[in-house]
Amino acid sequence: MKYYILFGPPGAGKGTHAGAVAEKYNLKHLSTGELLRNEIAAGTELGKKAKSLIEAGSLVPDEVVEGIIESAFDTIRGVDGFLLDGFPRTIAQGEALDRILAKRGEKVDAVIAIMIPDEIVKERIAGRAKVEGRADDANEEVIQNRIRTYHELTEPLIAFYKEAGKYHEAVCYPGTIEENRAKVLALVDSIQ
């Protein structure tokens, strides 16, 4: 099995390009944000716990997302691998992922980072808010908290994966969605 991580700041286009990458390489796209939003919509206990944190733009506890990821690895069959989107988001989660995979005799194959300039992040999130109606996209303070969280907790993973020789980056600004998708697919092709 292949284990790819789709990495990047909020609004970079991970969700926009994940489908094409997953389809081309027969991967299951696992977005922890999307799985958490589904739990909230279904009114589960997990969803109730996650709701206020997500709506504040804060991270949910590591063990919650690690549990979601592990149970997906346990149950999903019929694919050649996984495309993780939104996980790991902290060094602790990156280390937990290594442990979860090591138990299975597996490892992270590559990190595919989609990068856009900082000043474009807010613009992208505001644009998405109009289309998708996500509660955590609508409020300026919440967006600010997510950007801060990304810089403080998530960005250190770049050095973590560079050190492991697994980090690959596509700069996806400027350009149309199609041009940037082609760039992301070419990057994934180059690391096969």
Active-site annotation, residues: 14, 89, 128, 134, 146
Closest among 20, 24, 28 to 1, alpha carbons compared: 28
According to the binding rule CB under 6 A, does residue 146 interact with ligand AMP? yes
Closest among 144, 27, 30, 25 to 87, alpha carbons compared: 30
Q: Minimal CB distance to ligand AMP: which residue?
A: 33
CB 140 within 8 A of CB 36: no
Return the bridge partners of 3, or none: 82
According to the binding rule CB under 6 A, does residue 94 interact with ligand AMP? no
According to the binding rule CB under 6 A, does residue 12 interact with ligand AMP? no
Return the bridge partners of 118, or none: none
Q: Which of 59, 83, 101, 113 binds ligand AMP (CB under 6 A)?
A: 59
- Mapping DSSP to helix (H, G, I), strand (E, B) and coil, where does residue 113 land? strand
Q: How far is the CB of 87 from ligand AMP (least distance, A)?
A: 4
Other beta carbons less than 10 A from residue 1's beta carbon: 15
According to the binding rule CB under 6 A, does residue 53 interact with ligand AMP? yes
Q: Which of 54, 97, 143, 187 binds ligand AMP (CB under 6 A)?
A: 54
Task: Give the pair of three-digit tokens for residue 15.
Answer: 């969700």
Q: Which of 65, 113, 170, 184 binds ligand AMP (CB under 6 A)?
A: 65
Which residue type sits at 112? Answer: I
Q: Which residues bind ligand AMP (CB under 6 A)?
A: 10, 32-33, 36, 53-54, 57-60, 65, 86-87, 89, 93, 136, 146
